[in-house]
Amino acid sequence: MQYRKLGNNEQLSAIGLGCMSMSHAYGVPDDEESIATLHHALDLGINFWDTADVYGSGKNEELISKVLVPNRDKIFISTKFGFTQDAGGNMVFNGSPAYMRQAVEASLKRLKIDTIDLYYAHRIDPNVPVEEMVGGMAELVKAGKVRYLGLSEASVSSIKKAHAVHPISAVQSEYSLLTRDVENNVLPACQELGITFVPFSPLARGLMTNTLNLSELPDTDFRKKLPRYQQEYQDNNQKLAAAFADLATQMSCSPAQLAISWVLAQGENIIPIPGTKKRDKLTDNAGSVDVKLTDQNLQQIEELLAKYPNTGNRYDEASEKMVDRDSK
């Protein structure tokens, strides 16, 4: 494994492990395989693990604790707070300092640790000033509950407001060959401020592995709700994935390795966190750090993407409303 720095501090594996799918959103949980995958991550030198209190309603943090606790000094653990349900059972976001104080204690209890390495606000709360939210998070640092602070799906203006209150070490957002809006403003801002950018779903939620049959996803799969994985875009996206897999073969790597290596090539301050609950896929993902792309390779990828532009949006309307964006 190769390593990159979180800001100017921690040495983190150049790819992390997104743990959401072990307990949430994709298919049926398999705790035994997930535990084996977590141990395998340690064997591979993947020390940056990502979870959230909302994943499996806390079950993901509890699952991770089984491997985290006996290996605490080997793992840099990040989790997130903020998503909760209103009285009607609808998912809402609460970024208030009062709520985060409850949330951090609950996460610490489930993880069975004293301090969280990286604590993210899972979204930006439109009803709570960013400065107030991050001020509350900074108090958690002073109290020794967390070490570093992060934001998820944040706009440049929110990142800068937050960073002025307390150093923001990481900004997490979706970034892949098919989701590139952060390139316009967020990535440059992170580079300017010395913030590590952490892409989730660098494989476009599995699409770029060329192993998904979009028409056969079960109704319980989170992707069924997202435009990119629905009928009107399926033909385009299945053809894109197949052509991308052919290109990967020409470059002597797997499609997953090619997709992740492309993300890694976009900046030294980038640490993607592809998610999986299976050991073989983790091994495949880890090999991406050894794939070196030339300028010609990068151009080939751009030309291929241009042939299949009808990829669809990454989020449905409800999820999109929770993404913080700067007004145009």
Assess if residue 328 is contained within a domain. no
Q: How high is the pLDDT of residue 234?
A: 87
Tell whether 106 is covered by a domain. yes
Write the CATH number for 299: 3.20.20.100
Q: Is residue 325 part of a domain?
A: no
* φ, ψ of residue 194 in degrees (nearest 5): 75, 30
DSSP string, 160-216: HHHHHHS-EEEEEEE-BTTB-GGGTTHHHHHHHHTPEEEEE-TTTTTGGGT---GGG
Q: How far is CA 108 from the centre of its chain?
A: 20
Nearest CA to 205 out of 237, 235, 236 is that of: 237
Count Cβ atoms below 10 Å from residue 266 Cβ, excluding itself.
17
99 catalytic, yes or no? no
Residue 165 lies in a domain: yes
* 109 falls within a domain: yes
pLDDT for position 328: 59
What is the token pair recorded at 96?
A: 């208030």
Look at the chain and report how many structural domains it folds into: 1
- Measure Cα distances from 112 to 42, 55, 67 in Å: 19, 17, 11
Answer yes or no: is 327 within a domain: no
Low-confidence ranges of the chain (pLDDT < 50): none
Q: Kindly name the residue from 26, 55, 229, 233 that is annotated as catalytic.
A: 55
Identity of the amino acid at 241? A
Q: Is residue 53 part of a domain?
A: yes
Half-sphere exposure of 305 (CA within 13 A, CB side): 15
Q: Is residue 326 part of a domain?
A: no
What was the pLDDT predicted at 229? 84
Task: Name the residue range of residue 46's domain.
Answer: 3-320
Distance (Å, rounded) from C-alpha 239 to C-alpha 214?
11
Q: Which of 324, 8, 325 is nearest to 148 (CA)?
A: 8
∠ Cα 24 198 81 (to 5°) = 50
